[in-house]
Amino acid sequence: MLRDRYLVDLIKNTIIETVNNNINIDDVLLWEMIKMYIGGNSIQYSSRKKRSSNNILSAFQKRLKRLKENLVEDPNFETEHDIHEH
């Protein structure tokens, strides 16, 4: 996950915002808040990313199913080629 540039930037920005918004608090409490916000933001990001990946996969599966159904109804090279492409 740390190779994901967006996530790394999200973590960096979370740290900066948390520090800037909590200047007058104890360092131990600040560290706990940073960890809490990073955890929450990381979970939200991972959930969105997984949902997006699942939606893309589902769309490909539906398209492949339609292509296979079309191939059974009307066998042709173009449809067969599309199936092998996906």
pTM for this entry: 0.66
Q: How many domains does the chain have?
A: 1
H or E stretch at 58? helix 27-73
Cα(18)–Cα(14) distance, integer angstroms: 6
pLDDT digits (tens, 9 = 90+) for 61-86: 898 888 788 777 877 777 777 777 76
User: Which domain range does residue 38 map to?
Assistant: 5-85
Closest C-alpha among 59, 61, 83, 63 to residue 71: 83
pLDDT digits (tens, 9 = 90+) for 12-65: 999 999 999 999 999 999 999 999 999 999 999 999 999 999 999 999 889 888
Cα(8)–Cα(2) distance, integer angstroms: 6
pLDDT at residue number 69: 83
